[in-house]
A and B are shown apart, each in its own frame.
Chain A
Amino acid sequence: MKAAVIVFPGSNCDRDCKTAIERSTGANVEMVWHGETELPGGLDLIVLPGGFSYGDYLRCGAMASLSPVMAEVCAAAERGVAVAGICNGFQILCEARLLPGALLRNASLQYVCKPVDLEIANGQTRFTAGFRGRREARMTVGHGEGNYFADEATLDRLEGEGQVVFRYRSNPNGSARSIAGIVNERGNVLGMMPHPDRAFEPELGSEDGALFFQSVLASA
C-alpha cells in the first residue's frame, strides 16, 4: 500500500499519522506539503491529519480546504482513492464539501481530550472491514470543534444509507445523533473526529487505530 499524509501549516498530527500507518500496515508513506499541485502516483490512501491548519483562521479547515493540493485530493477522491480526514482533516473535508455537514464548537465550550468508546455503526466500509464484525472501538479525541452538524434531512440520509461509520457511546461534544465519523455516498471519503493515529499500539491504550489503517490496506 502507498499512502500520503498532507501537511498543512499548523498540522500537528502529520507525523503521528505517518508512524501509525507505517507501523500498522508497513505501507510506504509520503508526506505531501499543502502547496504541491501534484500527488505521488499510485496512492491507495490520502490522510488529512489533525492539527490547527492555518491557525483555524476564519473557520476550522476553511483556509486549508482552499490549499493548492486540495484540488488534487478532490480529483483523487473522484477517481475513488480512499481519503481519510482525521479531526482537523474531517473539518477540512466538510469545508471542501467532500463530506456533508460541518463541525461546530463543542456544546460544552470545552476542549475535550480523552479516550472515547465508539460504536462501529457500519462495519462494511473499506475503513472498518478489518474490525471483522466487532461493534466497538476505543480511540482518543482531542478537539474544541467536533460537534457534528447537518440538517435533519441530511442526517436521515446519512443514517439511512449507512454513511454513519462511528458513533460515540457517550457524546463528548454535542454532536448530532452522536456522530463521530461519516463516509461519503461512494464510501471512499471518510471523516472522523477520534484519532486512529493515537491508538495503534498497546502502549497507547488501544490498538484499534491499527485495524482502521489495516482495513484500508486490505481493500486497496
Chain B
Amino acid sequence: MKATVHVFLKPGVLDVQGKAVESALHGLGWPKVAHVRVGRVIELDAPGDDAAAVESQVKAMCERLLANTVIEGYRVEVG
C-alpha cells in the first residue's frame, strides 16, 4: 500500500529555509506571501492492505527514522 509522509519542523522551531524562500518570493513580486515552510515528502510502499495497520507501521518508521521528533512533526497519508 502506498504511503506518503510529510515532515516539517515543529511550530516554534525556526524554519530558516522557509524564511529565505518567503523573502525570495517577496522579492519576485509576491509581497504578501506569508508563513512559507519548507519540509520533506517521503513516499513508500508498505506491505499490507489494511490502511490502519499500514498507517501505524509508517508512524513507527517516522518515530524511528523518517522524522527527528525533537525538532520535526510528521503527517502520514495512506492509499
Binding site for B on A (CB under 8 A): 58-59, 62, 66, 94-95, 100-102, 104-109, 149-150, 174
Contact = CB atoms under 8 A, between A and B. Distances in A.
A102 B70 contact: yes
Interface residues of chain B: helix, strand, loop or mixed (majority): mixed
Given A58-B65, A62-B65, A66-B65, A109 B16 contact: yes
Interface in B23-79: 65-66, 68, 70-71
Contacts of A105: 16-17
B20 A149 contact: no
A109 B17 contact: yes
A60 to B, nearest CB: 10
Interface string B1-37: 0000000010001101100100000000000000000
Nearest to B19: A109
Given A94-B70, A109-B17, 15 more contacts: A58-B66, A62-B65, A66-B65, A100-B70, A101-B70, A104-B14, A104-B16, A104-B71, A105-B16, A105-B17, A106-B16, A109-B16, A149-B70, A150-B70, A174-B16
7 contacts: A59-B68, A94-B70, A104-B13, A107-B16, A149-B13, A149-B70, A150-B70
A100 B66 CA distance: 18
A106 B19 CA distance: 12
Contact of B68 (A95, A106, A108, A174): A95
Nearest to A152: B12
Contacts of B16: 104-109, 174
Contacts of A102: 68, 70-71
B68 A62 contact: yes
Contacts of B17: 105, 109
A149 B65 contact: no
Contacts of A95: 68
